[in-house]
Amino acid sequence: MWLKIKRIFIPCRENNFRPNFLRSRFLFFYLIFLLGIKLAFISFLVYLPKSILFAQLSRDLLIELTNEVRVEEGLNELKENPLLNKAAFMKAQDMLTNDYFAHQSPEGKTPWYWIEKAGYEYQSAGENLAIGFMDSEELIKAWHNSFSHRHNLLDPYYQEIGMAVVRGEFEGKEVNVVVQLFARPAKSKNIQPPKELSYRPQKTTLSPESKKEIKEIEEVKTATATGTATGTGTEELNTKSEELHLFLSESKTVQEPSTKIFRFMIKNFDNFLQNITFYSIILIAFVLSLTISFRVNLRDRNFIYKTIYTVLLLMLLGFLNKQFVLEVVPHVLLIK
């Protein structure tokens, strides 16, 4: 085992002072493979904002990144509230429907209107808006670099958060609209729990005739409850259940394996690729330096030059990262 590793990575007599790692076709195929992964990742970043999954994934990630920023500043994490999610969703839908991008609608509806309409009682609240974003980290940085938005992100008084990301048409273009709500809930009224009963229920013995009457009554109730469900009532119930599921499900992180993979791709995959590229350059440069230190002559120069070109190409691949894509792909990020 050690001899094989030595031949692959270390210049020695067994490999004629040319490590197999450098002189084989491995580097060429490795370079092609890494380039293919990079191009696939770039395509993923460009296509993702147009997909159905983007709204849910970016919404969850924005809440996570918001709490990470707060924790870094020594603040409490915000708890997600389904009523604030509902208010944010209604506000986002209203902006797309009425084609405006502002804290106050053309009809004069303020952010607090939507919070109150959702049934959320609060002491204090704030709102951040965004439109046209491609990446969650890009948006958090934009908010953090703005004084008023950073004030909302880092306000220690807030305790809860609600988010909505909705894709729709705005000024003739398909965009993603983000509404982020912060709030401190109203103080709940102290309700005294009921006192324990001071008596014990008496055990009652029923006669056979009474048991028969009770059984008949239960059968009648069951038949009545089963037979009164009409078509209209079922449709209304299903509609309300779907609406309730829509807003309550937003407060939970989806745990399907495919969603976890997408979350990893969005948040961590770029750093993962950058680390692979960086350590590949370090390894190749180290092995090449060992090779040069052991033996250098005219016959070895082509071999050395090819390895150096490979290192340079890897360095160029390092620039093909998420930040490069965000700067090259045309999109206009607006915040309010």
Q: What per-residue string of b and e applies to 46-68 under the rule 16 or more CB within 10 Å gives b? A: eebbeeeebbbbbbbbbbebbbe
- Residue 250 tokens read as 């937003």
Rounded Cα–Cα distance for residues 251 and 237 (Å): 22
Q: What was the pLDDT predicted at 310?
A: 86
- Residue 307 tokens read as 């390895």
CATH of domain 58-190: 3.40.33.10
First to last CA, the chain: 61
Q: What was the pLDDT predicted at 221?
A: 35
Q: What was the pLDDT predicted at 194?
A: 42
> Tens digit of pLDDT per residue, the chain (336 long)?
776 766 666 767 666 666 766 766 778 888 899 999 999 988 888 888 888 878 888 999 999 999 999 999 999 999 999 999 999 999 999 999 999 999 999 999 999 999 999 999 999 999 999 999 989 999 999 999 999 999 999 999 999 999 999 999 998 889 999 999 999 999 865 444 444 433 333 444 444 544 444 344 344 333 333 333 333 333 333 333 334 344 444 444 444 556 777 778 888 888 899 999 999 899 888 888 877 776 655 456 777 788 888 889 999 888 888 888 888 888 889 999
Q: Where are the domains of the chain?
A: 18-48+261-330, 58-190
Rounded Cα–Cα distance for residues 137 and 320 (Å): 17
Q: What per-residue string of b and e applies to 92-103 under the rule 16 or more CB within 10 Å gives b? A: bbbbbeeeebee
Name the helix (H) or strand (E) containing 178: strand 173-185
Q: Which of 50, 66, 61 is nearest to 134 (CA)?
A: 50
DSSP string, 255-277: --HHHHHHHHHHHTHHHHHHHHH
pTM of the shown model: 0.69
Residues 6 or more apart whose Cβ sits within 8 Å of residue 274: 318, 321
